[in-house]
Amino acid sequence: MLNHLPKFRFMLIISIVLLIIAGCGNKNNSSNASVEPSASSASPSESVQASPSPEASPSPKETGYVPTELTVQFVPSQNAETLEAKAKPLEKLLTDALGIPVKVSVSTDYNTIIEAMQSKKVDVGFLPPNTYVQAKEMGAAEVILQAQRFGVNDADGTPTTELADSYKSMIIVKADSDIKTLADLKGKRIAWQSATSSAGFVYPAVELKKAGIDPNTDVTGIELKGHDKGVLAVLNGDADAAAIFQDARNIVIKDVPDIFEKTRVLHFTIPIPNDTISVRSDMSKEWITKIQDAFISLGTNEESRKIIFEIYSHQGYAKSDDSKFDSVREYASFLK
């Protein structure tokens, strides 16, 4: 038995040492308990109970409307049946790009498409600037893209080689007219488009007002449907001036080859944002990105670019945001 005593003492010493080491480890763990754990060190139960940071925005996958079928609607810029026929090939292009069925239709007017987006019956709308701003104010739509077209040379109305997401309105008169400034338009006849037309009324009317001419009382307004009709009204003497988009004289140049010699530009407005592609206000961020990518890709392919050009004379699309329409709001407020 005595022979076994040294071995017993040795085992006892080892056990005591192990107990001391274990105690030190517990002490160290206790001292670290006051340190805030990182997300990776939190236990599963702690992760569930933790409140999310108020600054953190929810993931697109966790919020917002996720379509299983996408409804796209156009505002009629030409004969509705013709426009719908031209837009039909877009259904397949977008269906292939997005992986869900896409249905394209044409609204009867501007108000109809706003109401359809507000009631969630339409997911994507092609909205001109003033219509978009109205839809935004009603909480019906958010802009995600703007159309791109080739710019226009001020000097001769020819297209530039660069794409732009804005354009100008202009007021034209006859080449030999004695009207030299905006002030000279007082008491004259002006061919306008509808009151909601950015280029055909809103922007030129506001700049007339800024020049001291009231567009409602100081001139005689003649409302026409079609910018080409405005050009012809000046040419035929039915109006002293016309507000048209830049350069709408190209529409009639086949019938009137010398239209640029017979008319001149009296005034250019500030740039006007191009038409929008807007989505219903509750569209998820994930799907906004998908829709943006799908439409942008249309402008990178020759075949698809021909289709969007046939529909609205668009050459492509660029990402946009609401701040680009501040001038639209400012100008609209001048006419209230």
DSSP string, 43-111: -HHHHHHSPPPTTPPPPGGGSSB--SSEEEEE--SS-HHHHHHHHHHHHHHHHHHHSS-EEEEE-SSHH
pLDDT at residue 20 greater than cutoff 50 = no
What pLDDT digit, counting tens, does each position of 218-276 carry?
Answer: 999 999 988 999 999 999 999 999 999 999 999 999 999 999 999 999 999 999 999 99
pLDDT at residue 308 greater than cutoff 70 = yes
pLDDT at residue 19 greater than cutoff 70 = no
Q: What is the DSSP letter of 283?
A: B
DSSP E strand boundaries for 88-198: 102-106, 124-127, 141-152, 159-164, 166-167, 169-174, 189-192
What pLDDT digit, counting tens, does each position of 72-118 carry?
Answer: 998 766 556 677 788 889 999 999 999 999 999 988 888 899 999 99
Confidence at 51, pLDDT banded by 50, 70, 90: very low
What pLDDT digit, counting tens, does each position of 147-197 carry?
Answer: 999 999 999 999 999 999 999 999 999 999 999 999 999 999 999 998 878
37 or 83: whose pLDDT is higher?
Answer: 83
- Residue boundaries of the structural domains of the chain: 65-151+273-325, 169-270
Confidence at 208, pLDDT banded by 50, 70, 90: very high
110 token code pair: 């501007």
Are the CB atoms for 230 and 243 separated by under 8 Å? yes
What's phi and psi for 99, nearest 5 deg? Answer: 80, 10
pTM of the model: 0.71
CATH C-level class of 65-151+273-325? alpha beta
Tell me if domain 65-151+273-325 and domain 169-270 are identical in fold: yes
Are the CB atoms for 256 and 175 separated by under 8 Å? no
CATH assignment of 169-270, among 3.40.50.11290, 1.10.357.10, 3.30.300.30, 3.40.190.10: 3.40.190.10
